[in-house]
Structure 1
């Protein structure tokens, strides 16, 4: 029942929020996110003792062979915990801000959270697809209604990309549905299908393209920088911190288990695409003056490394991907919170107009430096262990692939340190002289992020233990 509550609490709260006015949606958002965090922690504790109790099955559409079947493995518990924590951090950060039509804004945010929880818990293919769309549709409206000046064109591009990806995935799901003996959408029926190499060869691309668009991976990435730039920053946090994990989750759950031979045939091609994306996005990030676009391109590079490590065909790289999904989500949300603070205070995104903020906003400067260094994998921060495991796994798979992927780490340090120098240090100007330091909600959210960065950087064992059950399942694939 805990698994169902992860979906129901934000879903019901989201529906209620549409009818509230004033500060009601804000308060409901905080209450709902706090309750969801408590439930997510409860699933972690339950998973350590009685994991089978997290499974839930109910009749849903028996005529189609589909059930409301949800459950959690180590990867699912970790991603649900990330989703719960992320929304709480976002709602704490924006609590002092006023949005036009707050009931609709918070309602759509909570519905997106419910969709994300459903994606990470679904063990029925049709249910998975419905939750996949439920997570995306609210984000489309959030971007188009509360975004920047070019939001209509950008969100239309975002919709076209994601719709085509969803369509390809639906074709693959329907094909597998008709291959099952009892015409069932259940995960057990799909995973037991005796698919030959030829079928897996083309089925791989139906699922891979859908997930590659969501991550995004080169050359399916062109929607991402514009969408991140034009979206309201809380929505950008959801997109970069959580929704990209839908693609990685789908790749691990669907491609590695359902079409392992297809993965084996195309793994080198997929890794090459990822490496091109890593170097390409890093090079573009180095010449950006817009801080939102810089972080957007850096996210493409980081996700590219995770995607490449998935195809490295060893347990070490997969374990690195799983822990890095959580750590990247925390770090990137922290960066977006700082960007949102700067944009709210000064109304600018161009780094050439910033500088010298360490003197006017010292607490923000400290948080910004710590989170930025964690994002490039500095030892003793949470970003280090995941990157180390992923690069080690790639090295075991192919030395040259690791060498080229490792360039992304070097380039990441270059543009991240440049960003810190331009934003935090140097001489202040007339604009930055007017800035103020963090408000209580912003300071609280960033403090929680820094605590997680340092704790998981020094002692990552709890998270490694959590995801180890998932990597053990995939031993038979490697």
Structure 2
């Protein structure tokens, strides 16, 4: 029952907020998101860190087609549910200094998206997973289209087409697997696992690409990334936070839950290809980030580089890489939301996001500068920050897979330091100018968003054990599924 409440409370809240006037919408949206956070924390305290899925609901939905409303929470999904429910109040609160037209619609869409995201992370029926997956696209499309910046129509259409096309190919893959399930066909996750693992090598190759492309577009990884920089730059800040902080995790989670265990044979064949293009994406995106003159685009390319490392770690097919990917998903969510909010504050104070137009902010805003430093150091994976824990595990995993590829993947830390430190130097240091002379330090609302994010980044970096403990049994279970298949096939 708790899982259903986690899914449907944001939906009910979205309808309530939609019915309110714009002046009331902010407060009610924040209250609703905080209630969802409290519910998720209660679930976390009730959760037992075992391999078994908990808080399970499995009831017929479209019985004639073998489709059930099957949801549950294990250690992997719990961390992503918590990431969603913790970040959503911060995202809502970060908008309080903006006056969005038709605010009730804006906040209603955020809550609707929270519902879909939670659904994606707890669904254990392939068709239900697809429904939530597509539902998450609808609110972010309208958020970007209605409240986005210049050229938002063309940019948002490109984003929509990319993600929808990838999703439809995934659905075809699921339907094919559905017809391979024995007896009365089913979309249940265990039935799809069994069907996928029973496929011939040729069929596993086809299904691998059908499912992988959808997840690769959503993450995104090179060369499926071209929608991302423009969309991040054009979307309103809260839309960018939703996209970068939570939505891209859908793709990584999909690889963990719905690709690797479904077609382990296909992953064994093409996993090295996915790994190599992910590593290429790390270097490619990092080099593009170095030459960027726009802060939002710089962070957009930085995100592609970090996600590329997460994907590379996953496709090493060892427990170290999987554990690192899960920890880094959580870390990246907080860091990237913090960075985009920092940029939003800069834009609101200076009316520019061009790096060359800034400078000297440290001289007049020491608290803001300190916060920026800590989040930036998390992004470059400094030890004792959350970014270090995940990236250390991921690079170690890739290095064990192939030391040359591992060395190339490790460039993310070096190149990341180059573009982040350079951007900090050019924006924060030096003398103030006409754009930055009137810059004021953090206000109360901004502190309420940024201080907890900074605290979380430091806490995970110093003491990652709780996250590792929650996810360890689920990762072991996933690895057992893969190992059993490999042993059966003599690989």
Flag whether TM exceeds 0.5 (same fold).
yes
2:49 touches 2:473 (CA, 8 Å); kept in 1? no
Establish whether residue 133 from structure 1 lines up as the match of residue 134 from structure 2: yes
Shift of 1:268: 1.2
Residues 22-52 of structure 1 show CA distances to partners (whole Å, capped at 9, x for unaligned) of 3221111111111111111122112227865
Shift of 1:53: 4.3
Alignment CA distance shift 1:271-1:49 (3 Å):
closer
Shift of 1:96: 3.4
- Mapping of 1:139-178 within 5 angstroms? 139-178=140-179
For residue 254 of structure 2, what is the aligned residue in structure 1?
250
Establish whether residue 453 from structure 1 lines up as the match of residue 457 from structure 2: yes
Establish whether residue 326 from structure 1 lines up as the match of residue 327 from structure 2: no
Residues 98-155 of structure 1 show CA distances to partners (whole Å, capped at 9, x for unaligned) of 1100111001111111110000000011110010011011100110000001100000
For residue 286 of structure 1, what is the aligned residue in structure 2?
290
For residue 489 of structure 2, what is the aligned residue in structure 1?
none
Residues 254-277 of structure 1 show CA distances to partners (whole Å, capped at 9, x for unaligned) of 111000010010111111111111
Establish whether residue 23 from structure 1 lines up as the match of residue 27 from structure 2: no
Q: What CA distance in whole angstroms lies between the structure 1 residues aligned with 2:433 and 2:303?
A: 29
For residue 12 of structure 2, what is the aligned residue in structure 1?
12
For residue 43 of structure 2, what is the aligned residue in structure 1?
43
One of 168, 185, 188 as aligned partner of 1:186: 188
Q: What CA distance in whole angstroms lies between the structure 2 residues aligned with 1:349 and 1:423?
A: 10
- Mapping of 1:55-94 within 5 angstroms? 55-94=56-95
Q: What CA distance in whole angstroms lies between the structure 1 residues aligned with 2:64 and 2:478?
A: 32
Q: What CA distance in whole angstroms lies between the structure 2 residues aligned with 1:73 and 1:137?
A: 27
Residues 398-437 of structure 1 show CA distances to partners (whole Å, capped at 9, x for unaligned) of 1111011111211011000001101111111011011111
For the residue of structure 1 that corresponds to 2:19, the secondary structure is: coil
1:372 touches 1:416 (CA, 8 Å); kept in 2? yes
Shift of 1:191: 1.4
One of 466, 484, 489 as aligned partner of 1:462: 466
Q: Which runs of 5+ in 2 are unaligned?
A: 484-491
Q: What CA distance in whole angstroms lies between the structure 2 residues aligned with 1:20 and 1:372?
A: 38
Residues 333-353 of structure 1 show CA distances to partners (whole Å, capped at 9, x for unaligned) of 000110111111221110111
For the residue of structure 2 that corresponds to 1:449, the secondary structure is: helix
For the residue of structure 1 that corresponds to 2:442, the secondary structure is: coil
1:2 touches 1:42 (CA, 8 Å); kept in 2? no
Establish whether residue 306 from structure 1 lines up as the match of residue 310 from structure 2: yes
Q: What CA distance in whole angstroms lies between the structure 2 residues aligned with 1:41 and 1:227?
A: 32
- Mapping of 1:374-393 within 5 angstroms? 374-393=378-397
Establish whether residue 317 from structure 1 lines up as the match of residue 314 from structure 2: no
For residue 487 of structure 2, what is the aligned residue in structure 1?
none
Residues 37-92 of structure 1 show CA distances to partners (whole Å, capped at 9, x for unaligned) of 11111221122278654111223111211111110111100000000011111112
**Stretch deviating more after TM superposition (188-197 or 300-309):** 188-197
- Mapping of 1:397-436 within 5 angstroms? 397-436=401-440
Shift of 1:445: 1.0
Moved over 3 A (4+): 49-53
Q: What CA distance in whole angstroms lies between the structure 2 residues aligned with 1:12 and 1:290?
A: 39
For the residue of structure 2 that corresponds to 1:8, the secondary structure is: helix
Q: What CA distance in whole angstroms lies between the structure 2 residues aligned with 1:276 and 1:38?
A: 41
- TM-score by structure 2 length? 0.96
Establish whether residue 337 from structure 1 lines up as the match of residue 338 from structure 2: no
For the residue of structure 1 that corresponds to 2:260, the secondary structure is: helix
Q: What CA distance in whole angstroms lies between the structure 2 residues aligned with 1:16 and 1:391?
A: 46
For residue 102 of structure 2, what is the aligned residue in structure 1?
101
Q: What CA distance in whole angstroms lies between the structure 2 residues aligned with 1:383 and 1:24?
A: 37
Establish whether residue 218 from structure 1 lines up as the match of residue 218 from structure 2: no
**Stretch deviating more after TM superposition (457-466 or 1-10):** 1-10
Shift of 1:97: 2.4
For the residue of structure 2 that corresponds to 1:48, the secondary structure is: coil
Q: How many residues align?
A: 478
2:54 touches 2:73 (CA, 8 Å); kept in 1? no
Q: What CA distance in whole angstroms lies between the structure 2 residues aligned with 1:398 and 1:99?
A: 50
Shift of 1:363: 1.1
Shift of 1:469: 1.6
Q: What CA distance in whole angstroms lies between the structure 2 residues aligned with 1:328 and 1:86?
A: 12
Q: What CA distance in whole angstroms lies between the structure 2 residues aligned with 1:15 and 1:347?
A: 34
2:378 touches 2:388 (CA, 8 Å); kept in 1? yes
1:17 touches 1:107 (CA, 8 Å); kept in 2? yes
Q: What CA distance in whole angstroms lies between the structure 2 residues aligned with 1:48 and 1:343?
A: 44
Q: What CA distance in whole angstroms lies between the structure 2 residues aligned with 1:83 and 1:447?
A: 18
